[in-house]
Amino acid sequence: MKVTVNGTVLDLASGTSAIDAVFAAGFDVPYFCSQEYMSPIGACRMCLAKVGAPRKDRDGSWIVDDETGEPKIFHFPTMMATCTTAIMEGMVIDTLSQDVKDAQNGMVEFTLINHPLDCPVCDKGGACELQDRAYEYGTGRSRFAFDKRHQEKHHPLSDLITLDRERCIHCKRCVRYFEEVPGDEVLDFIDRGGHTYIGTLEDGLPSNFTGNITDICPVGALLDATSRFRGRNWEYDHTFTTSLDDASGSAIVVDARTGRIERVKSGLNPEVNKSWIDDGIRFGHEYVDHADRVRRPLLRKGERFETVSWDEAAAFIAERLRGLSGKDVGIAVRADATLEEGVAARALAEHLGTGQVDHAPRHGRTLVPVHGATLVDVATADAIIVLGDVSEELPALDLRIKDALKGVTPPPLLPHGVPIADLRLKERMPRASERLTVVAAYRVDLMRHAGHTVTVPVGGEATWLEAMTAVAHGERVDEAALAMSRADAEALIASWRDADKAVMILGGFVLASAAATAAADALGKAVGARQVRVPPMANGLGLEVTGVLPSHARYDYRHMLAGGARALLLSGLDPAQDPALAERLRGCELLVVHDMFMTATAEIAHVVLPAASGFEKDGTTLSLEGRYLPVRAAPVDGGEARDLTGVVKSLGEAFGQRLEGRSVRSARRVLRKQLGFEPSELDRLGLLQPLPKVRASVTVTTDEEATGEALRVPTMVRPEYLAYNPHLRAALGDPALRLHPDDAAERDLRTGDGVTVSVDGVPRRLRVVVSDAAPRGVPLVPATPDAPVGRAVVDLDALEVDRRALEVA
Amino acid sequence: MSDVLDAPKPITSRFDPRFETTLYAHVGAAGSHTLAYYQAHGGYEAARKALGMEPKAVVDEVKASGLRGRGGAGFPTGVKWSFMPPVDGRQRFIVCNADESEPGSFKDRYLLEDDPHQLIEGMLIAGWAIQATKGVIYVRGEYYHALERTQAAIEEARAAGILGTGVLGSGFDFDLILHRGAGAYICGEETALMNSFEGLRANPRLKPPFPAQAGVYGLPTTINNVESFCAAVHVMRRGAAWHAAMGTDDSKGMKLYQVSGPVARPGVYELPMGATFRELIFDLAGGPTESAKALIPGGSSTPLLPWSEATLDLPMDYGTMAKHGSMLGTGGVIVIPEAKCIVDAFYNVVRFYAHESCGKCTPCREGVATWLPKMYQKLLAGQGTREDLVVMEDMVKNMRGTAFCPLADACAMPVQASFKHFRHEYEHLVDTGTSMYPRRREWAE
Amino acid sequence: MSAMHQLPTVTPFFADKQQLLSEILGRYPDYGQRSALMPLLWEVQRAERHVSEARVAEIAEILGLHATEVKGAMSFYGTYHEHPVGRYHLQVCRTLSCALAGADEMADFLEDELDLVNGETDAEGRFSLQFVECLGSCGTAPVLQVNDTYFERVSRSRCRALVDAMRRDALPEPTRERGGDNEAADPAAAAEGGAT
Ligand SMILES: Cc1cc2nc3c(=O)[nH]c(=O)nc-3n(C[C@H](O)[C@H](O)[C@H](O)COP(=O)(O)O)c2cc1C
Ligand code: SF4
Ligand code: FES
């Protein structure tokens, strides 16, 4: 459609909003209530413009201006809010004339009359939309000579978010956000008219995605409590990077100052996380600056450690390795290592001549599906089958699934980026819950939004999937295995088959089981669904496809730990939490631990090397959908911490060798050859690539499948760091042992009790949460990198109650 | 030419012998709210007739009658009905706006209390016309008596087969939901009403989509005022031509006008459209009981007209009011006595809108609900300045046409008119620190 | 993940009113059950003269909403109160037409007579005084609403008599007045007025 903005003519798709037309034409118009990815509501009335359009006569021809001979422009009688006005053929928009300016001035004045103007003490100062707009569009004088509205100034909406009600300008972004994005209506306007304020009755804002409101609040009303009063916006270094918290590949911005991370905000990646991140990613960074971090290499001297230089540590390791056959060395990296670190691990293994190299945690199955789906595929799917608890496992998926239920395809990008006002989005849009089926062994949050929910017995995914496949093939099945009537199962399968785009999401519970994974493949094939496989950690897929894998199944991580290796280099892994494994590791001739904290394994190591956090390294990661994304170091002071390429550099020097992967740069030379592109040139949005097939033989591990009637369940927050993340810990509590009310009652346990309980032989200190999400007899414990999602043996009868305040182990 | 000369003159006076009260004819009669009374006076015959016609023919009849909505905006009722999308299997709704809360308006209340079947019949006709099988009557919560009477009438109608499946022996199903408001004027705005009905905060919704496309629960909906539905009954009963014979060029039919303020007999009066203020205020309401200086023609949101012989002779219709810078609104005339401080009177009006602002949009929340009343308080405290008057006028200008819904205009327009016609009272107040006329009034012993 | 909102345990309001509850829910279509929010709030307000947080939570539970949503909607309206109003909830319309007929003076009178200011309830819980906006009785101004009932054309002496009557718990039936056309059409109807 042809539109003219202040004389500039442009051609835009019908349905575009007038405000986007203004920005597309390179002009500016102020706005507060509109927000990318949310419904335009026209509440702030800042985006006023003079708008006109030609009209057609009864006979269908344009009414012509007699003087110019051009179609006559009929102006709307009042100024229009451009955010809620759709463009029309021939529309003329004026944002520059004096009466428009006057109206905008007037609106700024109204907006400011009750605003405290406490910019000097406001965290948003310098990054405040109101401050900017008041400069550009206000008159700079105040004619409001009355007391301003007084309201609560430091109201804790939760332990993570602080609200200053005086600063609120009622744009409704936060309220709309909760309804429209996660669908958790935990915040609302209270009262009306001039008394309206935002508030909640929900303790702690129960949603996994609360922090995004601090990003979108246009003023300093909603603030990230972890970063309050820590610095001014212009003092921060902003690093645009990719979160390594999970495999979503979510874009984040790390704001650092004087060597500390002050806050993490959501970055924008339209095809990945749009502009939203979960609270685990946002608030779970405080461990990086924690005083307990290992900042220099440590070398065991008898019972004690001594601080040494990297060279001394490397020399010690090289010396010890000289006495060993290379084959006896095992190298394992945690599955959130970068691809560059993976190259370093491989190069080291190659140099030593060992096939015992692996990443962990990983399932015994490949993460490369036959017909993979992207996050955009999920967001545009019309049938989704979720197996597991993706809301906790990979929260970005939760939001993309909710997008799909709304049935609005991602907006096309405009010259200025994501549309500011996508008129297809509405408040309180219905969500087509019947498109979503959620299957799990306990009640997962996403079930609230699902039209079809199936609760299977623990470990029952395979049986259910096989039964559904049998129905799909018209075979006889036992209805009990379907957990629904055959007719319902047939209807469900028909709906998947009839869908234009069906997507099946396999969480850890399925991938932990060979039978369930095979059954999911078969069902997917039968109904024509694409697949998403949720990696257990951020770069599991990347480490797999770049081959950070043992040369043979019997050289995998488990076997290394079980005795296959006499020397071990472990990066980020902590197997010694298990007393049996600790005993075995004590017998190693060399145990090198590369980690950030003094873990149980570090305590028994010969050498502890300080590891860089995911915020301190440059590298590349591969997200679950096959998107290569850049990880960039923020200016954080990690002491002498290094990533694995730094470790390999030191070791190489001690060996007198220039190993591949001794720096990010050298690792990238290897990757470039392997992947066919230059990783250092990746932009923030990353590069989506078809995934190479990985040889099945090396991805299979030989461990038997776990048994046990308890479940290790995913959690959005990383339990291993919770003790070092004080705000998250205060908000969400210590790692939880969720128990069915009857199970709790039998043992006289109450929510909040601290207990020590054995999980697969590992004693863990947990906090009891009585919850009917847990089925009777099925305790739920949080998974960790060393004990990932899956079945577990939890001995409730050997549980010790500790009613004192719980110190996290 | 001769045709025009021969055509009968339209009826524009209650005293025209051809005029007969219809809408309000039975209000107050003993038992007027009962089904028995209603049926004894021809009740539900119009609905029977409508049900025997094609729905589109009913819409056309209403269009031809020239009936315009009586809720305030005066939108042609038949045209509104014709906006409904083609029947597509989705539930369709007909909604009655009985949230009447505009100061100076009180006609709907008596219709609900004393003639609820008239409304039910009107909704049934409209429901048939737009093929909506469900109706909603949204009554303001304070109208307790009206709610009881209407509820009782609905139950009577159900028992008599007038509501329910196959109403009045036809194949048409129709039933009503009576829904109670809870004290918020903005719920009279049609989209806010729908939000309120749905259990949401009653902020107005964005238009488009208009109710016909996405109304109650996002389904096709038509919404009209109580009086509009009642008028439709008489259009069906007596025909479009009968209705169109009353009134002026752009305003047809009869209308319930309301008079309040110091007049001898305030209340509701039924007149043909185009009757004059003089007829209403003097001939029917007995004239002012004290000297008057202005009148508000159609509820507090309509700009006042200064009291004069010329004003009194204006016909009360949509076009004339627009031509004189005001609006017909709900036809709720308020007479403003000479001996009342105009600044205080408009502070009263502003306080109403300030109290009722929903808070969604900036100019209304900060201007109407916050700043403007504070300015009035300052003036009335004798603290105002000439500069303040300039600020007020500018502020009100910035509220005009910039808000999300018409509520802010409803506040701004009358204030502007008060400045236009009574600036001297404002100036007197700021210059001397005291009102030109008393703020307080006598309260009858 | 959430900590549960812990409320003191009280007997649910609708526990012994299942029939009423299903009648109210039954008024609205399946896809529009949220419409029952206002009627449910009204039942509670009328019975308990306020809507406590526990009732908000109960209604949220019934409708499958967050308590915040119920609170957000409830707080929009003037009718629902967070704290109990008195047994006689006096609401004085002060809007223009009533003001022209002496409403401000009536408001002053009641403030003095009851020793209450706008928005207050007396210690005994008998009287609450509230100034409200237009009640739609402009033709029969000034108007005093007592609980659900309108008293119109309230003169000073009538107002005093009403207060006295309420002190004796003997509130009279209102006389229905409408002014205008048919004012005195049928005195019988007027007398019968309140007794529906
Ligand atoms: C702030 C505001 C308040 C309104 N209040 C009422 C009202 O109380 N009753 C009413 O019928 N219409 C009211 N209206 C008009 C309605 O929005 C709508 O136009 C009307 O109900 C349509 O009915 P009609 O076409 O029969 O007039 C109000 C409009 C606004 C903007
Ligand atoms: S003008 Fe704005 S704040 Fe006022 S009632 Fe309308 S939408 Fe609400
Ligand atoms: S002004 Fe009081 S009832 Fe209308």
Report for A127-131, A731-735, B32-36: range of highest mean pLDDT: B32-36
A124 inside domain: no
Q: Are strands A800-802 and A754-759 parallel, antiparallel or unpaired?
A: antiparallel
- Which residue range(s) make up the domain with A81? 2-96
What is the reported pLDDT for A804?
58
- Residue A427 is classified by DSSP as T
- Say whether both A691 and A799 belong to one domain: no
The residues spanned by each domain of chain C are: 18-76, 88-195
Instruction: Report in angstroms the alpha-carbon separations of A371 from A187, A374, A377, A502, C43.
Output: 39, 10, 12, 11, 56
Note whether C75 contacts A204, CB cutoff 8 Å.
no
Q: Which residues of A297-334 are buried (b: 16+ CB within 10 A; e: fewer)?
A: bbbbeeeebeebebebbbbbbbebbeebeeebbbbbbb
Alpha-carbon gap, residue A212 to A263, rounded angstroms: 12
What is the reported pLDDT for B317?
98
- Say whether both A617 and A512 belong to one domain: no
What is the reported pLDDT for B337?
98
pLDDT in tens, B175-188: 999 999 999 999 99
Residue A659 in 3-state DSSP? coil
Q: Give the count of beta carbons closer than 10 Å to the beta carbon of residue A67.
A: 7
Q: What percent of chain A has pLDDT over 70?
A: 98
**Residue C2 reports pLDDT greater than 50:** no
Q: Which residues contact B278 (CB under 8 A, 6 or more apart)?
A: B312, B313
Per-residue pLDDT band at C194 (split at 50, 70, 90):
very low
Q: Give the count of beta carbons closer than 10 Å to the beta carbon of residue A797.
A: 8
Shortest CA gap C83–chain A (Å): 15
Residue B161 in 3-state DSSP? coil
Residue B322 in 3-state DSSP? helix
- Say whether both A692 and A550 belong to one domain: yes
Shortest CA gap C77–chain A (Å): 8
C18-76 under CATH 1.10.10.1590, yes or no: yes
Nearest CA to ligand 1 atom 25: B69
A664 inside domain: yes
Max Cα distance, chain A (Å): 99
For the ranges A142-151, A572-581, B122-131, B323-332, the lowest mean pLDDT is seen at: A142-151
* Averaged pLDDT for residues A32-45: 97
* Averaged pLDDT for residues B24-43: 96
What is the reported pLDDT for C165?
97
What is the reported pLDDT for A807?
47
Q: Give the count of beta carbons closer than 10 Å to the beta carbon of residue A287.
A: 21
Q: Are strands B93-98 and B134-139 parallel, antiparallel or unpaired?
A: parallel
CB B114 within 8 A of CB B35: no
First to last CA, chain C: 53
- Say whether both A506 and A596 belong to one domain: no
- Say whether both A602 and A461 belong to one domain: no
Which helix (H) or strand (E) segment holds residue C96: the answer is helix C96-100
Q: What is the dotted CATH code of the domain comprising C88-195?
A: 3.40.30.10
- Say whether both A679 and A719 belong to one domain: no
Of the candidates A592, A529, A537, the residue with the CA atom closest to the CA atom of residue A566 = A592
Q: Look at residues A506, A529, A552 and tell me which one is the last residue of a structural domain.
A: A529
Per-residue pLDDT band at A802 (split at 50, 70, 90):
confident
- Say whether both A161 and A261 belong to one domain: yes
Alpha-carbon gap, residue C40 to B182, rounded angstroms: 12
What is the reported pLDDT for A737?
97
**Ordered DSSP codes for A726-753:** HHHHHHH-SPEEEE-HHHHHHTT--TT-
**Ligand 3 site, CB within 6 A:** B 103; C 93, 95-98, 134-138, 141, 143
Instruction: Report in angstroms the alpha-carbon separations of B396 from A141, B366, B400, B407.
Output: 18, 11, 6, 13
CB B421 within 8 A of CB B306: yes
Note whether A194 contacts B404, CB cutoff 8 Å.
no
What is the reported pLDDT for A706?
73
Instruction: Report in angstroms the alpha-carbon separations of B89 from B132, B219, C192.
Output: 11, 11, 45
Q: Inform me whether the C-beta atom of residue B432 falls under 8 Å from chain C C-beta atoms.
A: no
Q: What percent of chain A has pLDDT over 90?
A: 86
Å from CA of B404 to ligand 2 middle: 6
Return the structure tokens found at A32: 């507060």
Which helix (H) or strand (E) segment holds residue C196: the answer is none
B255: which strand partners? B271
A771 inside domain: yes
Alpha-carbon gap, residue A727 to B267, rounded angstroms: 65
- Residue B430 is classified by DSSP as H
Of the candidates A364, A348, A762, the residue with the CA atom closest to the CA atom of residue A568 = A348
Tell me, what's the ipTM? 0.94
- Say whether both A510 and A558 belong to one domain: no
Å from CA of B28 to ligand 3 middle: 21
* Averaged pLDDT for residues A413-426: 96
Of the candidates B411, B407, B376, the residue with the CA atom closest to the CA atom of residue B391 = B376
Please confirm whether the linkage preceding B272 is cis (ω < 30° from 0): no
Residue A497: φ, ψ to 5°: -65, -40
pLDDT in tens, C21-73: 999 999 999 999 999 999 999 999 999 999 999 999 999 999 999 999 999 99
What is the reported pLDDT for A697?
67
pLDDT in tens, C154-167: 999 999 999 999 99
- Helix and strand numbers, DSSP H then E, in chain B: 19, 11
- Say whether both A578 and A663 belong to one domain: yes
Alpha-carbon gap, residue A84 to A525, rounded angstroms: 44
Residue A9 in 3-state DSSP? strand
- Say whether both A401 and A489 belong to one domain: yes
pLDDT in tens, A368-381: 999 999 999 999 99
Residue with tokens 């003076």: C105
CB A50 within 8 A of CB A99: yes
**Ligand 2 site, CB within 6 A:** B 186, 203-204, 357-361, 364-365, 403-405, 407-408
For residue A559, the domain's CATH number is: 3.40.50.740
A660 inside domain: yes
Return the structure tokens found at A164: 């200053």
Note whether A45 contacts B200, CB cutoff 8 Å.
no
- Say whether both A325 and A382 belong to one domain: no
**Ordered DSSP codes for B2-56:** HHHHHSPPPB--TTSTT----TTSSTTSTTTTSHHHHHHTTTTHHHHHHHTS-HH
CB C49 within 8 A of CB C81: yes
What is the reported pLDDT for C8?
53
Residue A327 in 3-state DSSP? helix
Residue C106: φ, ψ to 5°: -65, -40
pLDDT in tens, B45-82: 999 999 999 999 999 999 999 999 999 999 999 999 99
What is the reported pLDDT for A118?
85
CB A393 within 8 A of CB A782: no
CB A2 within 8 A of CB A90: yes
Shortest CA gap C6–chain A (Å): 9
Of the candidates B278, B277, B328, B280, the residue with the CA atom closest to the CA atom of residue B302 = B328
**Residue C191 reports pLDDT greater than 80:** no
Alpha-carbon gap, residue B415 to B411, rounded angstroms: 7
Of the candidates A452, B137, B265, A158, the residue with the CA atom closest to the CA atom of residue C178 = B265
**Residue C122 reports pLDDT greater than 70:** yes
Return the structure tokens found at B323: 């031509």
A297 inside domain: no
For residue A439, the domain's CATH number is: 3.40.228.10
- CA-CA-CA-CA torsion sign (B340, B371, A42, A39): negative
What is the reported pLDDT for A808?
43
Shortest CA gap B69–chain A (Å): 22
pLDDT in tens, A54-101: 999 888 899 998 888 889 999 999 999 999 999 999 999 999 999 999
A121 inside domain: no
Residue A251 in 3-state DSSP? strand
In this complex, the residue of C3, C69, C72 whose CB is nearest that of residue A203 is C3
List of E strands, A46-125 = 48-54, 73-75, 80-81, 91-94
3-state helix, strand, coil in chain B (%, to 5): 45, 15, 40
Q: What percent of chain B has pLDDT over 90?
A: 98
Residue by residue, what is the 3-state secondary structure of A549-565?
CCCCHHHCHHHHHHHHC
- Say whether both A776 and A678 belong to one domain: no
Please confirm whether the linkage preceding B208 is cis (ω < 30° from 0): yes
* More confident site: A68 or B145: B145
List of E strands, A86-154 = 91-94
Q: Give the count of beta carbons closer than 10 Å to the beta carbon of residue B182.
A: 22
Per-residue pLDDT band at A144 (split at 50, 70, 90):
confident
Computed over every residue of chain B, the mean pLDDT equals 97
What is the reported pLDDT for A154?
85
Note whether C138 contacts B109, CB cutoff 8 Å.
no
What is the reported pLDDT for C6?
46
Chains contacting B (3+ CB pairs below 8 angstroms): A, C
Q: Look at residues A699, A722, A746 and tell me which one is the last residue of a structural domain.
A: A699
Domain count of the fold of chain A: 5
Residue C105 in 3-state DSSP? helix
What is the reported pLDDT for C187?
46
Å from CA of B261 to ligand 1 middle: 23
Alpha-carbon gap, residue A26 to A8, rounded angstroms: 9
Q: Look at residues A649, A680, A699 and tell me which one is the last residue of a structural domain.
A: A699
**Residue C189 reports pLDDT greater than 60:** no
* Averaged pLDDT for residues B363-392: 97
Q: Inform me whether the C-beta atom of residue B392 falls under 8 Å from chain A C-beta atoms.
A: no
**Residue A611 reports pLDDT greater than 50:** yes
* Averaged pLDDT for residues B383-396: 97
Q: Inform me whether the C-beta atom of residue B218 falls under 8 Å from chain A C-beta atoms.
A: yes
- The strand order across the sheet containing A687-688 reads A619-622, A627-631, A687-688
* More confident site: A121 or B137: B137
Å from CA of C104 to ligand 3 middle: 12
- Chain centroid, CA A471 distance in Å: 36
A74: which strand partners? A53
Among B95, B100, B102, name the best residue to mutate to test ligand 1's pocket (greatest count of ligand atoms within 8 A of Cβ): B102
Of the candidates A50, A78, A51, A74, the residue with the CA atom closest to the CA atom of residue A62 = A74
Note whether C68 contacts A187, CB cutoff 8 Å.
yes
Å from CA of C134 to ligand 3 middle: 4
For residue A14, the domain's CATH number is: 3.10.20.740
Of the candidates B308, A336, B181, the residue with the CA atom closest to the CA atom of residue C39 = B181
